[in-house]
Structure 1
């Protein structure tokens, strides 16, 4: 008789596991896939107009989706400045430490990341003037060089990619 009870318990447990597993599997299968990561080929990168405040200059890097599909960006871009020979001037931008979100970018929409440096005269040392700002979109091993004559002074920080106010 204990054999019958044990067998019935085992069958009941197996049925519960099968039902639970099937429903978990069904929920996972029906979840919508997230948008693919934006690649350099999907994007047009440019610099927006700088904004100054409290001895700092803030430069928005604009990531515009030029593809025909929605893609996503998450995290911090890699940013440095380079000379006319495409040699890096100083160190790359350091991350601000702000939390990151996944930002969905529909065709034609623009999202931003902002880098900050000190205004000239606020700190005693500045780098030579750049010829380009070199930007690696988040999770990309391919960079875009944006023509720009910038003089970085003191701090060089980058924020994560965020939805633009006008997107």
Structure 2
């Protein structure tokens, strides 16, 4: 048998190592990115987005940058009033709020419920834009898609301790529209620009979850309780 010189053997080993490295590289993902995280239902989109009708839902997105503080205009908003330019108060965070669903005010085949957020903190804070919302069953499974946004002009609502703001939750009565319906046990409510939700017991009966006229809509926040 002919013996190979040390330089020939080293060259052969190097070629083998390069081939293995190329094989490992080919087996990788190639894009260098991690998989997308799973999303949670009922998370509010940034309240500072432009408003649209129908196509925008309150799906999970990151809070808009700089939304924790006011616009810096130096103007203040009276308690419970709405300002189009912002407020000097700090935005309300989920842990500072309590949520309730007010009494239904039905009309023309529509069900209309006010979602009410109340400031339980010891200082003034503000809400602006749309809440996030999602119906869930007893196991926590979401029923139907996230609600859509009705057209509207967001204004900053300044809440002193104990004051409230409300946003409308409206949908066609399933018995009238013929949409497939289910009865939730809970409504998840997420304040504007927040990711953590508040759980509210749902006592409003069946809601549309699929089929024709099954969309649920949300309105912008206004001062008061919507009563």
Q: TM-score, normalised by structure 1?
A: 0.77
**Given the alignment, which residue of 140, 152, 159 partners 2:219?**
159
Deviation at 1:120, TM superposition (A): 3.3
Name the CA distance, whole Å, in 1 between partners of 2:73 and 2:179.
Answer: 56
The structure-2 alpha-carbon separation of the partners of 1:46 and 1:30, relative to structure 1 and needing over 3 Å to count, comes to closer
Q: Give the equivalent residue in structure 2 for 1:9.
A: none
Name the CA distance, whole Å, in 1 between partners of 2:132 and 2:180.
Answer: 20
The structure-2 alpha-carbon separation of the partners of 1:57 and 1:145, relative to structure 1 and needing over 3 Å to count, comes to same
Name the CA distance, whole Å, in 1 between partners of 2:201 and 2:217.
Answer: 19
Larger Rg belongs to: 2
Flag the structure with higher strand content: 1
Deviation at 1:164, TM superposition (A): 1.8
Asked whether the equivalents of residues 57 and 118 of structure 1 are also in contact (C-alpha less than 8 Å), the reply is yes
Runs of 4+ in 1 over 4 A off after TM superposition: none
Aligned length: 140
Name the CA distance, whole Å, in 1 between partners of 2:198 and 2:138.
Answer: 14
Flag the structure with higher helix content: 1
Query: For each residue in 1:12-40, what CA deviation from the matched residue of structure 2 results, as whole angstroms up to 9, or x when unmatched?
Result: xxxxxxxxxxxxxxxxx993671111011
Asked whether the equivalents of residues 90 and 127 of structure 1 are also in contact (C-alpha less than 8 Å), the reply is no
State the Cα RMSD in Å: 2.2
**What are structure 1's unaligned runs of at least 5 residues?**
1-28
Q: TM-score, normalised by structure 2?
A: 0.57
Deviation at 1:155, TM superposition (A): 2.9
The structure-2 alpha-carbon separation of the partners of 1:165 and 1:134, relative to structure 1 and needing over 3 Å to count, comes to closer
Q: Give the equivalent residue in structure 1 for 2:48.
A: none
Is 1:31 paired with 2:74?
yes
**What are structure 2's unaligned runs of at least 5 residues?**
1-71, 76-86, 209-213
